[in-house]
Amino acid sequence: MPSTAATANTVSRWLNYLVALPMVILGTFGAILTIIIFTRRNSFLRNPTVQYLLAGAVMTALHLPSVYLQGILVDGFGLGIYNTNIIVCREHRYLFYSTTVATISFPCWAAFDQYVSTSREATVRRRWSSIRMTRFVIVGTIIFWSIVYMPIIFIVSIASGSCAFIDSPLSRLNDYFVTPVAYTIAPLTVVIICMRGIIRNLQSNRVHNHNNNLKIQVRRMLIPQLIILSISGVPFGLYSIYTQATSKAQKDASRLAIEHLFLQIIRLFYHLNFVCSFYTYFYRSKEMRKVLKRLIYGLIRRNQIEPADVSLANTFSLNTVV
């Protein structure tokens, strides 16, 4: 009869085979399609909320194949890439945190943009909901999180064949404060405040004239993503606190295997934020479906083989021989 540790490790591996790897493929494919579609229409490019969602799609297309795939190779296929090389270990942990938080920040900024764009004050809309401000915020967000998580490079190491945090004040600060705030508290707070503000603004007759069909569809695309983001961040933040709180406890093989299995499940659940975005947008937006159908139709027509007109090639003339 297999032990608890062996069973947990087997389940963890099969989760990577059957769930995580398809999620990376579908998520990367969806992110690339999102980028293509959002950059095909000027109406999308002129919409600040769509610009935030586009930035999130770009980060997703980078995060899934370059960061999350590394974890799948280690946990599912036993390819100890970052568990054997200290440089890769530090690179993986740094990119995991910085790209993840940057990616989930953009839907929050999109919610904020929806809030200010439905404001009754014209000065608020002009100041905070503009393409110039959006681009500044996108670049600033990436730089901010890149700097915030820079210390991770110096507080991770390989111990007992595993890439992990070194016990230090910085690692405790990350697990007890930065991760719960960045992954759970801040997104929940932003989503709740902005959604309440959007509802309050839309109830005012003054702003109804500012809503066209595209803006309504963008809002329909954004709301399911915000709900998933709010729910999935809670277990990730709690697990971070649990990991730090039990870091010095003696753990046998069974407990380590079960904790690792729970970590895999939490990461799978959290990466729904990355994987489901395109498919949510596609389902909720008629404009996205139109653009995609037009792209597919154009691709099919371009690849069609035109029948050759051989009538001229096969003609010949009869000349009188004198």
What percent of the chain is modeled with pLDDT above 90? 22
What DSSP designation does 205 have?
G
> Taking residues 132-137, what's their average pLDDT?
93
Q: Looking at residue 59, what is its pLDDT? A: 94
Residue with tokens 């963008």: 218
CA distances from 19 to 13, 25, 41, 92 (A): 10, 10, 34, 21
Q: Looking at residue 209, what is its pLDDT? A: 46
User: Whole-angstrom Cα distance, residue 100 to residue 59?
Assistant: 8
Q: What is the pTM for the complete model shown?
A: 0.83
66 in Cβ contact with 31 (< 8 Å) = no
Which of 130-139, 168-177, 183-192, 303-312 is predicted with the least confidence, judged by mean pLDDT? 303-312
> Taking residues 277-289, what's their average pLDDT?
87
Q: Looking at residue 318, what is its pLDDT? A: 38
What DSSP designation does 161 have?
T
- CA 180 to chain centroid, in Å, comes to 18
What Rg, from alpha-carbon coordinates, does the chain have?
A: 25
Q: What is the pLDDT of residues 224-233, one digit of tens each?
A: 888 888 788 7
User: Whole-angstrom Cα distance, residue 230 to residue 236?
Assistant: 11
> Taking residues 71-78, what's their average pLDDT?
79
Instruction: For 4-293, give the CATH class.
Output: mainly alpha
Nearest to 289 by CA among 277, 299, 281: 281
Q: Quote the mean pLDDT of the chain.
A: 83
Which of 3-12, 76-85, 207-216 is predicted with the least confidence, judged by mean pLDDT? 207-216
pLDDT at position 51 over 90: yes
